[in-house]
Structures are given as structure tokens and as C-alpha cells.
Amino acid sequence: YKLIDKIDIEDVVNKLFDKKTFKHSDGNNYSIDSVKFDIIKNRFIASCTKTNDETVSAKDIILDRAIFSNLFNSLASTPAGQPFIAEENQYEQMKHLVNILKGGVKEKGAGRHIQFGLLSTDLGREGKEITGPQAAAKDMVKMIQEVRISKPEINKNKNFIRNIVKEKYPNIFNGVKQNSEVNRYNFFLFQLEQMRKAEFVRIDDEKAKVDLSSIKGFCPIKKEHGFSPLLVTPNINVELSGFTETYEQLMDLPNNQDFADEFYKDCEKLYIAEGYSRETIENNMILQLLLMNGYLNIEDITRGKITEKVNRETLAAAKFAVVKRNNSTEKKSAKK
């Protein structure tokens, strides 16, 4: 796409289709003499000659997907559906990918264990249209099941997540069944964190480390860093942020300060997550307070829309208590 204004697309398409023969939907065979781009119709128009008739006759035909598939091995995964454009440095990238999948130069790397599945929808095949994601992804589902059997560390990591969630939130999950939504989200966060612990090296020199400090949005962490689970899920995080923006104004309501004082006493029992934004950490603490004081139950985390059960005044009081506690802790740390 970067070269779109520097190359003559019409010339490129002519080279691709010059003298190519194909069978048209009208039952006749044609040979392509030249191709021109119709800027009004936004289509390539081919000037063709009928080849299966002694009488020479010319005809203009629009180059469509059917003609392209008749001549070439077309793929549905071409960039933006455009079969004439390849990604920049695509060949070199494929070479690097193949080398990684082989396990590197010494063929001992973890890339050897990467498995692939075929995801196909069989689009456009007459009489064999497959619909629905389950049918389309059946090979992928089978592959995932096989990987789970061959990779016991997946279940090991899932058990680790269940245990650490229960360990960090004893006031929430004490003798109560755990929430699958919370476990799934923390397993996702755990995998992301493991990727941030990865050590990147050059493909041509495995001893040379790659400095990624200048990449925006990517913050590598040390391997010994412990995982810190969250109770708040993305949907609830957004919901709490939206409903507690004006918490300070609501604190002027009668009895709301008393609510906040009660919440503040419980703040010492909360687990303070690490490695996340201040807003996420605060929302995680608010959710703990609501669960500990009976405003919500474990199932409400999965359902979402917690504001249907908790009013704005209660949320404001919990937010006030959490902010007060965090500010107090920061002041003590600054004095030390």
C-alpha cells in the first residue's frame, strides 16, 4: 500500500493477465489481450478474444473473482481481499517463521512445539457451504484438545491461578465456590505477564539481547516478579469507573460519610493488586468492599451490571474510603 502511488497498477495487472485464457460463464473460452481500469466503475475491464470459434470476435469482460480463481490459486486471506498485493518483506518474515518453528539454528528452541490447526469456512463452493463458527473451527477445536493433553503445564497453570486467587482473596472465597469468569480473566493476564518476562534475542545471534525499552506500550518485567491476580473484570472495571466519576459530590448527601467510615475500616482487610493502573487497583478494592459487605455476591461478577444492585451513594462511599486509604498509605511511604 505504501507504493500504491509509485507503481502503475494497470501495467501490473496487464502483466498478470496478458494472453491468459479462461472459460467464461457464457460457456465460451476467451483469451485476454489487454486490461484497462475503469475509474468510474472502479473495475478492471479486460479486452478478450473468443478462442473456441473460427470467427474472431472481441468482447469486454469485467475481471471478477471467478475469472481470477479460474486462472490462479486464489485465497480468501489476501490483504483486504486484494489478490495483487503482498505484504512488505513477506518472504523474509516467512523465512524467520520457518526457522523459529524448526527450533532455531540448533533446532532445540520452544518453537518446535508450536502446533497449527486449519480454520476453514469453505466460502463460495457451490453445494458445500459450511455455516456457523463451530463447524468452521472444528479442526481448531480438535487441535486445542490435543494440545491440552500433550501440554500438562496448561492445566498446571490453571490450577496455579485458582489457588492464587483463593490465597489473595480469602475474605471473598473463604469456603465459597470460585468464579470461573475471574479465573479465566486471570489466566489470560497470567499468560500476558509470562510473555512480558520473555527474553528477546536476535535470530542470527542468540547471545545478543534485543533492547525493547523504546517500544511504546511494552514494559518487560523481571522473571522473578510474582503474579498479582485481579477480582475486577474488564466490564466491571469500566462500569465502576463510569459510576464513580462524581463520587465527591455524592459525599455531601446525609449519612454517606458514615457509610464511607464503615468501608474505611474494612480497607485493611483488602488485597492490593500490583502492576496495574491506579484506577484498576482502586476499582478492584471497591469490588472487594462490595462483596465483603454483602452488596454483591460472586455470581454478580459474571452477570455484570452491578450498578443494578448497588446505588450510586454506596459506590461513592466505597470509592471515598479506597481513595482515602491509598492517599494515607502514600503519605506514610513518602515520610519514610
Query: How far is residue 115's CA from residue 321's CA, in Å, rounded to a whole number?
Result: 49
Q: What is the reported pLDDT for 177?
A: 79
**75's grid cell:** 485465497
Residues 6+ apart with CB under 8 A from 200: 209, 210, 212
Q: What is the reported pLDDT for 96?
A: 85
- 274-291 pLDDT, tens digit per residue, is 989 999 999 999 999 999
Q: Is the pLDDT of residue 120 over 60?
A: no
Residues 69-78 have a mean pLDDT of 66
End-to-end Cα separation, the chain, in angstroms: 57
Name the most confidently modeled range: 4-13, 125-134, 279-288.
Answer: 279-288
Residues 231-246 have a mean pLDDT of 88
Give the number of other Cβ atoms within 10 Å of residue 203's Cβ: 13
Give the pLDDT band (50/70/90) at residue 55: low
Q: Is the pLDDT of residue 322 over 90?
A: yes
Asked if residue 317 lies in contact with residue 260, where contact means CB atoms within 8 angstroms, the answer is yes
Report the candidate in 216, 208, 181 with the shortest Cα–Cα distance to residue 306: 181
Report the candidate in 229, 88, 261, 259 with the shortest Cα–Cα distance to residue 160: 229
- 134-191 pLDDT, tens digit per residue, is 666 677 777 777 777 777 888 899 999 999 999 999 988 877 678 899 999 999 999 9
Give the pLDDT band (50/70/90) at residue 1: very low
Question: What is the DSSP-derived secondary structure letter of residue 200?
Answer: P
- 78-96 pLDDT, tens digit per residue, is 544 445 555 667 778 888 8
At which residue does the C-alpha cell 489470560 appear? 188
* Burial class (CB within 10 angstroms; exposed 0-12, middle 13-18, buried 19+) of 310: middle
| pTM for the whole structure | 0.61
